[in-house]
Amino acid sequence: MRIKLNKQQEEAVLHFGSPLLVLAGAGSGKTRVITQKIVYMVENLSIPINRILAITFTNKAAQEMKERVVKALGLEYQPQWITTFHSLSAKILRIEAENLEYSRDFVIYDEEDSKKAIKDVLKEMNLDSEVYKPEKIRNVISQIKQNLDESVLDFYAFTMPHLPEIFKKYNHHLALSNAMDFDDLLINVVKLFRENPEIKKSWQDRFDYVLVDEYQDTNLVQHEILKLIVGNRDCVTVVGDPQQCIYTWRGANPDNILEFEKDFPKTRIIKLERNYRSTEKILSVANSVISSAKGRWKEKVLRLWTEKKGDDDVYLISLETDKRESEFISKKISSLIKEGYQYGDFAVLIRMSYLSRNIEESMIKTGIPYQVVGGVKFYERAEIKDILAYIRFALQPKDTQAFKRIINLPPRGIGEKTIQKVQQYYETDWLQALEDAYQHLSKKAQLRVQEFLEIVEYIRKYGNEKPSETARYVVSALDYENYLENKYKDWEDRVANIHELFNALKEVEKSGKTFLEFLEESSLSQAQDSLENSNSVKIMTVHASKGLEFPVVFIAGLEDGLFPSGRAFEDIEQMEEERRLFYVAITRAKEKVFITYARKRATFSGRINETKPSRFLRDIKKKVKVLSDRKKERKKFPPTCLNSDIRAGQLVKHEKFGKGVVLSVSDNRATVIFETAGQKTIIKDFLKKI
């Protein structure tokens, strides 16, 4: 072993012969363990690197792991199978395309495409989009797919009776477009393996060992994929931490950690509880945020400890307004820079991405270099999607959403009516439909369609080979920069983005990748992927900070309704997740933590609201230094529970669920039967006695 490991880490690296579950706390060196285990297998067990499958949560983590492995083993090539679940699935599906109902060049619909597809379906069915809210429907559909379970539909049978049909039509729309949404990528692998045992076998045979990181944030389908790939062998290690599960809202199922033991008999469990990242003081604040685990989770929960001393207290700072909060952060950063810190040492973590605006403004004013990680991602920008949609469509003319995006872009007089006419002639794809509909169109429309087809034809000829030239051609043929200039005030930024796209495509050319591979990568790109190594302050959501660490961390906006998010008030599980999120935020820090909140905050419409400090602050107030820009700070934080006198039998009212009666209470929660909403467990605060 080249790197020194502690006893538990070493055990985890050296354990073979039965499945392994590593419960690894924040900062406990789990990446090191996974990397070392890979290196050990290659060096000491003579397993070829490409027979090891390692699945991480982000592309960024995968990339880093690859680099570490390459360095440790002195490889001259990049390991192929260090990847994420979504990329792995896309790879498998392209390789096995002939066994699917898709062709190899299937496209991946991102969230926007999916939502537009749903809107198309709703329009086609003539449904009121007030009742059938596209965003809600997309969520429900995703939930169904993530759990491989349609029973959710029953839940909405009353409010949205047409949901099952929408679901069917949406999937049909995808199939016609040769498109998969994010969930389909995973589901189709499960289907493929279940329906074709010999294919499953061939994939099992490809790998001698499988490792998965961040297991607490895998969903049911991903758990299933793991089971199918491992089969009844024991060559598997998963690493996770139930306390860091922050993605249940998009289908993560922390029970996978519990299920793991059942699905893989004789599982050995190793806990990594020694933290190497944070100081004692930071850890103790973090620990006081997490509520104690109950029931079956009891023995899965970690108690972090550290020998890392540090004089710095964790600070909690109250500021008058959100503006002041941002100013405080900038000033603090500037003064710490004078003490010898680098800009790259800082992260500002926020609960919601729109909170970055104030902070950015103040950093610009102060002249602090910063980078917003995530937010609206590069490939989700309208101008980028526009150009890529042309190429997407040219290479895959079944792609309905790409077609609808570009057919009248820039406006060329092909509107709703013309598209409808063309749709009547749709049989195999939109190019064929355009040709067949051609003679039935008006002279004007014919001319415009002609122009459109010429551009597409050109891309079809050269697109896949010379991506950057093709993109340049599209931009000039459309006079797209001019279009941006006329349409947007911030056109200069957008033009700059287009040029950045050209550069990215140049790189693609250099690396010998095809355009389709590039499209796949871009649609699966993640918030963290944009993270630069530059010496700049990083501003990001707490979610995007998963797995990262920084010497100094600011956590802003600790206000009730913001952090915890207002939506979490309805539901205890969500409130617990907010807690874990706060825990994740604190444990990103190595040396210093500044937690801030504003007593007044402007809403998006400019109104200024009085805020309440986050209820989480109550749990940490004894362990932090409280400061305020007001002389006499009321050191009062919302109690974790206000209505402590609610008892069973009490009649109560809830803002959302209406009237109900309390069945039972425990701690700060009450289980209530509501007249209409049925039985729910609610935090007592959100009940009113009646």
Partner DNA sequence: AGACCCTCACTGTAA
Partner DNA sequence: GTGAGGGTCT
The residues, any chain, with a CB within 8 Å of residue 271's CB and separated by 6 or more, are 8, 22, 23, 24, 25, 302
The DSSP secondary-structure symbol of 428 reads S
* Minimum separation from the CB atom of position 75 to DNA (A): 25
* Residue 117, annotated as binding a ligand: no
Residue 566, both tokens:
């207002």
* Residue 367, annotated as binding a ligand: no
Chain positions 247 to 276 lying near DNA, rule: CB under 7 A, are 249-250
Q: Which of 291, 432, 565, 609 binds DNA (CB under 7 A)?
A: 565
In whole angstroms, give the CA distance from residue 186 to residue 191: 9
> Closer CB to DNA, residue 29 or residue 240?
240
Between helix 467-477 and helix 515-523 the angle, nearest 10°, is: 80
Please report, in angstroms and rounded to a whole number, the separation of the first and last CA atoms in the chain: 66
* Residue 660, annotated as binding a ligand: no
Q: Do residues 276 and 308 touch, judged by C-beta distance below 8 A?
A: yes
429 binds DNA (CB under 7 A): no
Mask: binding to DNA, 441-460, rule CB under 7 A, as x and -?
A: ----x---------------
Residue 211, both tokens:
């490792």
142 binds DNA (CB under 7 A): yes
The amino acid that residue 94 corresponds to is R
* Minimum separation from the CB atom of position 388 to DNA (A): 15
In whole angstroms, give the CA distance from residue 4 to residue 15: 17
* Minimum separation from the CB atom of position 615 to DNA (A): 15
287 binds DNA (CB under 7 A): no
> Closer CB to DNA, residue 42 or residue 226?
226
Chain positions 112 to 131 lying near DNA, rule: CB under 7 A, are 116, 119, 129
* Minimum separation from the CB atom of position 130 to DNA (A): 8
In whole angstroms, give the CA distance from residue 606 to residue 610: 13
* Residue 565, annotated as binding a ligand: no
574 binds DNA (CB under 7 A): yes
In whole angstroms, give the CA distance from residue 642 to residue 656: 18
In whole angstroms, give the CA distance from residue 81 to residue 58: 14
408 binds DNA (CB under 7 A): yes
In whole angstroms, give the CA distance from residue 166 to residue 118: 8
Give the closest residue to 617 by CA, choosing from 561, 667, 558. Answer: 558
Number of residues that bind DNA (CB under 7 A): 46
What ranges in 218-263 are assigned the alpha helix state H?
Answer: 220-230, 255-263
Q: Do residues 186 and 142 touch, judged by C-beta distance below 8 A?
A: no
84 binds DNA (CB under 7 A): yes
366 binds DNA (CB under 7 A): no
Q: Which of 198, 311, 416, 610 binds DNA (CB under 7 A)?
A: 416
Q: Is 333 helix (H, G, I), strand (E, B) or coil?
A: helix
Mask: binding to DNA, 541-560, rule CB under 7 A, as x and -?
A: x-xx----------------
* Residue 340, annotated as binding a ligand: no
198 binds DNA (CB under 7 A): no
* Minimum separation from the CB atom of position 574 to DNA (A): 6
In this structure, are strands 268-272 and 608-610 parallel, antiparallel, or unpaired? unpaired
In whole angstroms, give the CA distance from residue 632 to residue 628: 8
> Closer CB to DNA, residue 235 or residue 495?
495
In whole angstroms, give the CA distance from residue 174 to residue 83: 25
Give the closest residue to 662 by CA, choosing from 676, 685, 642, 681. Answer: 681
* Minimum separation from the CB atom of position 543 to DNA (A): 4
Give the closest residue to 237 by CA, choosing from 440, 476, 36. Answer: 36
In whole angstroms, give the CA distance from residue 16 to residue 335: 50
- Reading phi first (left if > 0) and then psi (alpha if -120 to 50, else beta), residue 251 is in left
> Closer CB to DNA, residue 86 or residue 615?
86
Q: Give the interface segment with DNA, choosing from 225-233, 235-243, 539-547, 614-622 (CB under 7 A).
A: 539-547
CB-side neighbour CA atoms (13 Å) of 185: 21
Chain positions 463 to 522 lying near DNA, rule: CB under 7 A, are none
In whole angstroms, give the CA distance from residue 95 to residue 443: 45
> Closer CB to DNA, residue 39 or residue 350?
350
> Closer CB to DNA, residue 140 or residue 238?
140
* Residue 169, annotated as binding a ligand: no
Give the closest residue to 681 by CA, choosing from 690, 671, 666, 667. Answer: 671
Mask: binding to DNA, 639-668, rule CB under 7 A, as x and -?
A: ------------------------------
> Closer CB to DNA, residue 446 or residue 679?
446
Mask: binding to DNA, 605-624, rule CB under 7 A, as x and -?
A: x-------------------
411 binds DNA (CB under 7 A): yes
> Closer CB to DNA, residue 146 or residue 278?
146
The single residue listed with the structure tokens 């749990």 is 619
Q: Give the interface segment with DNA, choosing from 200-208, 262-270, 346-354, 666-674 (CB under 7 A).
A: 346-354
Catalytic (active-site) positions: 30-31, 213-214, 244, 588
Binding residues: 24-31
* Contacting positions for DNA (CB under 7 A): 58, 84, 86, 111, 116, 119, 129, 135, 139, 142, 182-183, 249-250, 352-354, 374, 377, 382, 408, 411-418, 445, 524, 526-528, 541, 543-544, 565, 567-568, 574, 578, 581, 603-605
Binding residues for ATP: 24-31
